[in-house]
Chains A and B, each alone.
Chain A
Amino acid sequence: MGKKGITGSRLHKRPDPYDAAARQTNMTKLEAIIQVSKLDAVKDALHDVGVEGMTVFEARGHGRQKGHTEFYRGREYTVDLIPKVKLELVLADDMVEKAVGAITTAARTGKIGDGKIFYTRIDEAIRIRNGDRGDAAL
């Protein structure tokens, strides 16, 4: 290794998702997979923290949660992929923590199967009605 080594300015740091200056945009998409029975509670909790726009999908899946088998009249009905609900929200970065807190608190039971939340960065958002872009479109 030479004397110069690698200077700090050339170090590649993992970008901090909450550091708006380090990112190109300041919008984040949350995908939350939760139990069906928690949907109403999560919607109310998000509304309480000021989040009103979301998209809801019917989903199926499992992580460590096992499937379910029920016998009815001699036939076996096995459900490997448990019904879940997936929410997608695109938020300004300053709302993300609040939204995550709201979802987590409302959806948590402490048991396997509670679900997960994923973050993605959003490059751009446009409101179809009037062409607003960026944060203004949210």
Chain B
Amino acid sequence: MNTVATASTDLRDLYAKESASIQEEFALTGDGKTALARRTALVESLLQRLWNDIVSADEAGPKDFALVATGGFGRGWLFPHSDIDLLFLHANEARETACRDTVRRFSQELWDLRLKLSPMTRTLAECEKFDPNNVEFAISLLDCRYLAGDRELFTRLREKTIPRLVARECQKLVQNLGDITRVRHQKFGNTVFHLEPNVKDGPGGLRDHNVSVWLALISAMEKLAMWPDPKTLLPVTSRRAFDDALQFQMSVRCFLHFRHGRHDNTLTWEAQDEAAARKIGVADLEVATAAEWMRVYFGHARAVHRVSLQLLGEIPAAWSSLSRQLNNWRSRVSSPDFSVVDGLVFLQKPDALQDPEMLLRLFHFVAEHGVKLSTTTEYKIEQVLPALAATPPRGAELWLYLQETLVQPHAAEALRAMSALRLLPLLLPELKGIEALVVRDFYHRYTVDEHSFLAIEHLHKLKESKSEVDRRFADLLGELEQPELLYLSLLLHDSGKAVPGDSHVEAGLQLTETCADRLDLDPADRETLRYLVASHLEMSAAMRRDVFDPANVKTFAEKVGAPERLKMLCLMTYADIKAVNPEALTPWKADNLWQLYISAANYLNRSADERVHADDNSAILTHLHSLAPVAGKKINTFLEGLPQRYLRMHSVSDVLAHADMAGQLGKDPVQLSLKQVRHWYELTLLTADRPFLFASVSGALAAWGMNIVKANAFSNAAGVVVDTFYFTDRFRTLELNIPEWERLKQSIASVITGKADVARMLQDRLRSEKGNATKVRISTRIDFDDTCSAHSTLMQVITQDRPGLLYKMCSQISKHGCNIEIALIETEGQMAIDVLYLTANNAKLDPTRQTALSRALHSELESK
């Protein structure tokens, strides 16, 4: 007893002295690998001494009982505060029973030495059984290593038992390992890019390193029925990056354990500062700041994460039947350029990536189908990048591919893949600064680039959400005319955080301008992008005020100015908050955001009647005059008396074009322009105002089979109307027959001048389309508001959308002696939402006329 007691004291002293020496050496060198090797050797020598003292003086004895290192200890990775995984292996139950006291004493001595044990006791037969509730034990055996006792017993475990277990249970092992890993990744938001990452359990951390090796080992062992050469487990191409990452992460985890004095693997900000100052893991690199050091960290983590995800996806035995079905489905999306095998994209022609366009199409494909790139494809991309860097794509063609990619449902995944391969900063250098950038604040959880990708992802996910609150925002997203601009603005909105200074918004705006130049955006789109980046914090700020106070709503709405911008800003705010951290967008905040949106939207509709005066000193008027100095008087005449809303809804180039058309009215009293704009056609009419005008044009378009999705009607002080109709060509008349463009315009001009009978035209059309069933019934609702305008009565009509609706409605309005001063027409699915400012005899509608009009409209709109 005394001998053992003295031995314990000696061992304790030895352990303390050696541990201190290891810590001192690490403090000097920062070399994690050496620290782990020394600590492993130290604990091993302690165990062997104790074994000799308590179990058997003969290191190779006793028979049928062995001490085995498993888990991290088995790998030779004993971190300063990690548990020591030990297996007391017995040949059979009788042996186990006989050794129970010995094992207890042995364990007690280790506890007395303050070594954190994680002991297990098993017989050889038990080791061969697979317990689905304890997969970790089976996995820990993959790292087993002999320490003491019956070597022959250990050899049977390693050379027979484990290979048999793996051969029999390969699929379950891999499946369970995959499931555990996916749950763990999910816990960390499936991203490497945390501001304070966990170097062991976080995605791309040491655990992912282990998982990768285990998956490869199980797969190889299943094929070979024996232990493979560990050097051949991973592909040659990823081995170097993997090993470099391991070295780095070993050093980081050692540093954290020594620093915290306990098993804490979180890289806090303070730890990052110290790690950078001490150049932990980066002795050979020029790393000056914590942000730069973290970039190195993320680079390694990303490499490990990539390999682990590839291995999880590539090993056939890992698939559940559901994921097999999913991957089979994904395989069906192969195209002439790309094939999809097991959910991974391969190039049909490996050299095709010499063409930059093919590269852009590849990522569009990824964004469209949510597939991942195979390792082979990734390496091909890496090979072409240097040539691409010399002449990167830019201009309208780049924007064409980019916008098509951004609107796809898996755009965020494509962006992450592009970022991981360094393609994204090559195409958009404006994003280089925020790559893996850690900006410290108490709210954000992710790096700046990951925050932007997440924001885009959250918007795309709105479509699938079942939450009632999310459905509202999803409907808004569906109404956007140019969602690609919103996504681009989300990509750029925090780019300014890479620039030192007080305001990331100002810095971000400069980067946005550069990006807009690079993509050759047209002026209107550039202005929208600029607006969104400049104002991305406005709605959050407005939410901190009383969202029910009309004065606050007015201030905010007037700042925004236009409904389309309001929608985009609302969605941007939703996405920006939601991407801060998983809890940031509380139901409370989401409700407030929605409340502010609808109040501001209603205000904008009710304030459309404020008029432009040509002698106003506004920036936009000054800008217009600067662009067309010769046409100054013509512009003034045209703009005088038009609603302010007109200027907010039309780009500067459109306004100048309209002013020019107005100048031509002397030659031709009906000026029409027809063009195709993105998803629909745009017909603009300038002519002298007259009764039934808006109804006539609406009817003519409906008679041609066009579906009016949106329309605006404005008139100026000179009585010239500017009516714009946005419509879809239901029967592809214009798309398939170019001459029909001119015929449509002539038909409309005939209707306007009274030469054609629009009622008859429409009747023929509606007769031919009778019987089309409506999917959703919308009740008609008509509201009047006399207070929001000084000159007009506002009428809002919500009703079932149908062919000829606008014609019928506006005909009734004209029949009741009302003039449409402003019309704001929109559709949302099968719902028509029409806001009209009406006058009768140049005054607001009196109550009698309102009632009569309402009755007539109800009757018209509710009749079959």
Contacts and interface: CB of A to CB of B under 8 A. Distances in A.
B548 interface: yes
A70 B547 CA distance: 12
Contact of B591 (A59, A72, A74, A79): A79
Nearest to A38: B546
A58 B586 contact: yes
Contacts of A40: 544
Contacts of A73: 798, 828, 831, 833
Interface string A59-72: 11000000010111
B544 A36 contact: yes
B545 A37 contact: yes
Given A39-B544, A40-B544, A82-B548, A70 B599 contact: yes
A35 interface: yes
Interface in B563-602: 586, 588-589, 591-592, 594-595, 598-599, 601-602
Interface string B83-97: 000000000000000
B809 to A, nearest CB: 15
Contact of B588 (A35, A60, A72): A60
Interface in B535-551: 543-549
B545 to A, nearest CB: 5
A77 B595 contact: yes
Contacts of B828: 73
A70 B595 contact: yes
B270 to A, nearest CB: 16
B783 A71 contact: yes
A60 B779 CA distance: 32
A68 B548 contact: yes
A35 B544 CA distance: 10
B473 to A, nearest CB: 13
Nearest to A79: B595
Contacts of B543: 36
A7 B494 CA distance: 74
B588 A83 contact: yes
Nearest to A59: B588
Contacts of B779: 74
Contacts of B849: none
Nearest to B589: A58
A70 B588 contact: no
Contacts of B588: 58-60, 83
B781 interface: yes
Contacts of A37: 544-546, 549, 552
Interface residues of B, number: 27
A70 B602 contact: yes
B546 A35 contact: yes
A36 B548 CA distance: 11
Contact of B602 (A72, A79, A82, A83): A72
Contacts of B592: 36, 83
A72 B598 contact: yes
Interface in B103-125: none
Nearest to B592: A83
A35 B598 CA distance: 20
B591 A83 contact: yes
Contacts of A82: 548
Interface in A72-93: 72-74, 77, 79, 82-83
Nearest to B553: A70
A25 to B, nearest CB: 32
B798 A74 contact: yes
A49 to B, nearest CB: 22
A39 to B, nearest CB: 7
Contacts of B599: 70
Contacts of A39: 544
Contacts of B831: 73-74
B43 to A, nearest CB: 33
A35 B549 CA distance: 12
Contacts of B783: 71
Contacts of A79: 548, 591, 595
B546 A74 contact: no
Nearest to B778: A74
Interface string A5-41: 0000000000000000000000000000001110110
A40 B779 CA distance: 44
A72 B601 contact: yes
B491 to A, nearest CB: 30
Interface of B: 543-549, 552, 586, 588-589, 591-592, 594-595, 598-599, 601-602, 778-779, 781, 783, 798, 828, 831, 833
Interface of A: 35-37, 39-40, 58-60, 68, 70-74, 77, 79, 82-83
7 contacts: A36-B546, A58-B586, A71-B783, A73-B833, A74-B778, A74-B798, A83-B592
